[in-house]
Amino acid sequence: MLDRMHILICGGPDCKDKSIPIRDAFKANIKKHHLENEVSAVITGCFGLCALGPHILIYPGEILYSGVSEENIQEIFEEHVMKNNPVERLLYRGKFDRMKLKNRSELTFFAQQERIVLRNCGTINPLDINEYIGRDGYMALAKVLTEMTPEEVISEVKKSGLRGRGGGGFPTGLKWEFAKKSISDEKYVVCNADEGDPGAFMDRAVLEGDPHTVLEAMAICGYAIGSHTGYIYIRAEYPVAVERLEIAIGQAKKLGLLGKNIFESGFDFDIEIRLGAGAFVCGEETALMASIEGERGMPRKKPPFPAVKGLFGKPTNVNNVETFANIPPIFLKGADWFKSIGTEKSSGTKVFALGGKIANTGLLEVPMGTTLREVIFDIGGGIPNNKKFKAVQTGGPSGGCITEEMLDTPIDFDNLIALGSMMGSGGMIVMDEDTCMVDVARFYLEFTVDESCGKCTPCREGTKRMLDILNRICQGRGNLDDLNILERLARIIKNSSLCGLGQTAPNPVLSTLKYFKDEYIAHVTDKVCPAGVCSKLTKYVILDNCIGCTKCAKNCPVGAITGNVKEKHKINSKLCTKCGVCKSICPVEAISTKPEKWRAIYAKAN
Amino acid sequence: METKVDITNEKIDLLYAEMEKHKQKSGPLMPTLHSAQRIFGCIPIEIQKIISKELDISVARINGVVTFYGHFSVVPKGKNIISVCLGTACYVKGSGGILDTVSHELKISVGETTDDGLFTLEGTRCIGACGLAPVFMINGEVYGNASVQMVKDIIAKYKT
Amino acid sequence: MTLNELNALRKKARDHIYMVGLKRAARIQIGYGTCGIAAGAKPVYNAFIKKIEEYNIPNVTVVKVGCMGECAFEPIVEIVESDGTKTIYCSVNERMSSEIFEEHVLKGQRLDKYLLSKTKR
Integer CA distances (angstroms), A396 to A270, A349, A390, A406, B88, in order: 33, 19, 17, 18, 8
A451-465, B51-65, B122-136, C1-15: least confidently modelled range = B122-136
A74-78, A203-207, B134-138: least confidently modelled range = A74-78
Predicted local confidence at residue A396, as pLDDT: 85
For residues A489-514, average pLDDT = 94
**Closest among A95, A74, A79, A374 to A63, alpha carbons compared:** A79
Bridge partner list, B73: none
In a domain, B88, yes or no: yes
Predicted local confidence at residue A1, as pLDDT: 35
CATH of domain C21-119: 3.40.30.10
Predicted local confidence at residue A103, as pLDDT: 41
Is the Cβ–Cβ distance between A371 and A412 less than 8 Å?
no
Residues A493, A264: Cα–Cα separation, whole Å: 53
Indicate whether A44 pLDDT > 80: no
Q: Are strands A570-571 and A561-562 parallel, antiparallel or unpaired?
A: antiparallel
Predicted local confidence at residue A97, as pLDDT: 31
Nearest-Cα residue of chain A relative to residue C77? A122
In a domain, B153, yes or no: yes
Q: Is C33 exposed, middle or buried (0-12, 13-18, 19+ CB in 10 A)?
A: buried
Residues B115 and B142 both lie in one domain: yes
The sign of the CA dihedral A42, A46, A47, A50 is: positive
Q: Which domain holds residue B42?
A: 9-68
Residues B39 and B90 both lie in one domain: no
Complex confidence, ipTM? 0.89
Is the Cβ–Cβ distance between A598 and A534 less than 8 Å?
no
pLDDT tens digits, one per residue of C29-50 = 999 988 888 888 999 999 999 9
For residues B135-159, average pLDDT = 87
A351 or A39, greater pLDDT: A351
A70-84, A106-120, A512-526: least confidently modelled range = A106-120
Residues A571, A538: Cα–Cα separation, whole Å: 13
Residues A108, A200: Cα–Cα separation, whole Å: 22
**Closest among C37, A519, A378, A81 to B127, alpha carbons compared:** C37
Indicate whether A275 pLDDT > 70: yes
Q: Over chain C, what is the mean pLDDT?
A: 87
Indicate whether A115 pLDDT > 60: yes
Per residue, what are the HEC states of A110-169? HHCCCCCCCCCCCCCCCCCHHHHHHCCCCHHHHHHHHHCCHHHHHHHHHHHCCECCCCCC
Residues B86 and B108 both lie in one domain: yes
DSSP conformational letter for C36: H
Indicate whether A392 pLDDT > 90: yes
Predicted local confidence at residue A104, as pLDDT: 41
Is the Cβ–Cβ distance between B32 and B19 less than 8 Å?
yes
Q: Tell me which of B23, B39, B68 is where a domain ends.
A: B68
Q: Supply the pTM of this predicted model.
A: 0.83
Predicted local confidence at residue A105, as pLDDT: 41
Residues B134 and B88 both lie in one domain: yes
- Compare CB distances from C71 to B127, B132, B143 and report the shortest one's residue: B132
CATH of the domain at B116: 3.40.30.10
Residues B64, B62: Cα–Cα separation, whole Å: 5
* B111 close contact with A: CB closer than 8 A: no
Residues B87 and B17 both lie in one domain: no
| Other CB atoms within 10 Å distance of the CB of residue A453 | 23
Residues B43, A450: Cα–Cα separation, whole Å: 21
Q: Is A194 exposed, middle or buried (0-12, 13-18, 19+ CB in 10 A)?
A: buried
Integer CA distances (angstroms), A545 to A542, A563, C40, in order: 8, 14, 38
Strand ranges inside A404-560, DSSP E: 427-432, 541-542
CB contact under 8 A, A134 and C121: no
For residues A84-96, average pLDDT = 66
CB contact under 8 A, B69 and A195: no
Indicate whether A110 pLDDT > 60: no
Predicted local confidence at residue A52, as pLDDT: 67
Q: Tell me which of B48, B68, B88 is where a domain ends.
A: B68
Rounded to a whole number of angstroms, the CA Rg of chain A reads 28
Residues A590, A603: Cα–Cα separation, whole Å: 14
pLDDT over 90 for what percent of chain A? 59
Give the domains, in start order, of chain A with CATH numbers: 5-104 (3.40.30.10), 129-338 (3.40.50.11540), 349-432 (3.10.20.600), 437-526 (1.20.1440.230), 539-605 (3.30.70.20)
Residues B51 and B99 both lie in one domain: no
Q: Which of A373-377, B142-146, C44-48 has the highest mean pLDDT?
A: C44-48
Q: Over chain B, what is the mean pLDDT?
A: 89
CB contact under 8 A, B132 and C35: yes
Residues B150 and B121 both lie in one domain: yes
- Helices A211-225 and A139-147: crossing angle in degrees, nearest 10, is 10
Is the Cβ–Cβ distance between A594 and A602 less than 8 Å?
yes
Predicted local confidence at residue B1, as pLDDT: 42
CB contact under 8 A, C71 and B129: yes
Predicted local confidence at residue A603, as pLDDT: 78
A566: left (phi over 0), alpha (psi -120 to 50) or beta: left
Nearest-Cα residue of chain B relative to residue C71? B131
Residues C7, A143: Cα–Cα separation, whole Å: 12
Integer CA distances (angstroms), A420 to A159, A374, A443, in order: 29, 20, 18
Predicted local confidence at residue B139, as pLDDT: 87
The pLDDT-based confidence of C119 (bands split at 50, 70, 90) is low
Q: Which residues contact A340 (CB under 8 A, 6 or more apart)?
A: none
Residues B29 and B88 both lie in one domain: no
Nearest-Cα residue of chain C relative to residue A378? C121
Residues B90 and B152 both lie in one domain: yes
* C4 close contact with A: CB closer than 8 A: no
Taking contacts as CB-CB distances below 8 angstroms, the residues of chain B near C39 are 132, 144
Residues B8, B40: Cα–Cα separation, whole Å: 9
Is the Cβ–Cβ distance between A170 and A361 less than 8 Å?
no
Is the Cβ–Cβ distance between B33 and B22 less than 8 Å?
no
Predicted local confidence at residue A98, as pLDDT: 30
- Compare CB distances from A198 to B26, B30, B87 and report the shortest one's residue: B87
Predicted local confidence at residue C121, as pLDDT: 42
Integer CA distances (angstroms), A362 to A193, A291, A396, in order: 19, 31, 16
* C37 close contact with A: CB closer than 8 A: yes
Taking contacts as CB-CB distances below 8 angstroms, the residues of chain A near B34 are 236, 275, 277
pLDDT tens digits, one per residue of A332-371 = 999 999 999 999 999 999 999 988 888 888 888 999 999 9
The pLDDT-based confidence of C60 (bands split at 50, 70, 90) is very high
Q: Over chain A, what is the mean pLDDT?
A: 88
Indicate whether A443 pLDDT > 50: yes
Residues B104 and B47 both lie in one domain: no
Residues B76, B41: Cα–Cα separation, whole Å: 6
Is the Cβ–Cβ distance between A599 and A580 less than 8 Å?
no
Amino acid of residue B120:
T
For residues A54-72, average pLDDT = 79
Residues C65, B110: Cα–Cα separation, whole Å: 36
Residues A390, A116: Cα–Cα separation, whole Å: 31
Residues A159, A173: Cα–Cα separation, whole Å: 8
In a domain, B75, yes or no: no
Q: Which of A8-22, A330-344, A373-387 has the highest mean pLDDT?
A: A330-344
* C31 close contact with A: CB closer than 8 A: yes
Indicate whether C70 pLDDT > 90: no
Residues A189, A271: Cα–Cα separation, whole Å: 9
Predicted local confidence at residue A96, as pLDDT: 30
CB contact under 8 A, C65 and A126: yes
Residues B97 and B121 both lie in one domain: yes
Cα of C51 vs its chain's centroid, Å: 13
Q: Which of A43-57, A147-161, A388-402, B134-148 has the highest mean pLDDT?
A: A147-161
Domain count, chain B: 2
In a domain, B140, yes or no: yes
Q: Is B78 exposed, middle or buried (0-12, 13-18, 19+ CB in 10 A)?
A: buried
Predicted local confidence at residue B88, as pLDDT: 81
Residues A240, C46: Cα–Cα separation, whole Å: 18
The size of chain C, in residues, is 121
Q: How far is B81 from chain C (nearest CA, A)?
A: 17
CB contact under 8 A, A201 and B128: yes
Bridge partner list, A591: A542
End-to-end CA distance of chain A: 23
A108 or A434, greater pLDDT: A434
Q: How far is B4 from chain A (nearest CA, A)?
A: 24
| Other CB atoms within 10 Å distance of the CB of residue A491 | 12
Predicted local confidence at residue A197, as pLDDT: 83
For residues C4-22, average pLDDT = 89
Q: How far is B46 from chain C (nearest CA, A)?
A: 36
Residues B87 and B151 both lie in one domain: yes
For residues A380-385, average pLDDT = 86
Predicted local confidence at residue A40, as pLDDT: 79
For residues A209-236, average pLDDT = 96
Residues A448, B145: Cα–Cα separation, whole Å: 26
Per residue, what are the HEC states of A202-241? HHHHHHHHCHHHHHHHHHHHHHHHCCCEEEEEECCCCHHH
Residues A361, A106: Cα–Cα separation, whole Å: 13
Q: Tell me which of B19, B40, B68 is where a domain ends.
A: B68
Integer CA distances (angstroms), A63 to A8, A36, A38, A87, A271, in order: 10, 21, 18, 10, 49
pLDDT tens digits, one per residue of A454-474 = 999 999 999 999 999 999 999
Residues C30, C39: Cα–Cα separation, whole Å: 12
For residues A63-81, average pLDDT = 83
CB contact under 8 A, B131 and C71: yes
Say whether A39 sits in a helix, a strand or coil.
strand
For residues B46-50, average pLDDT = 95
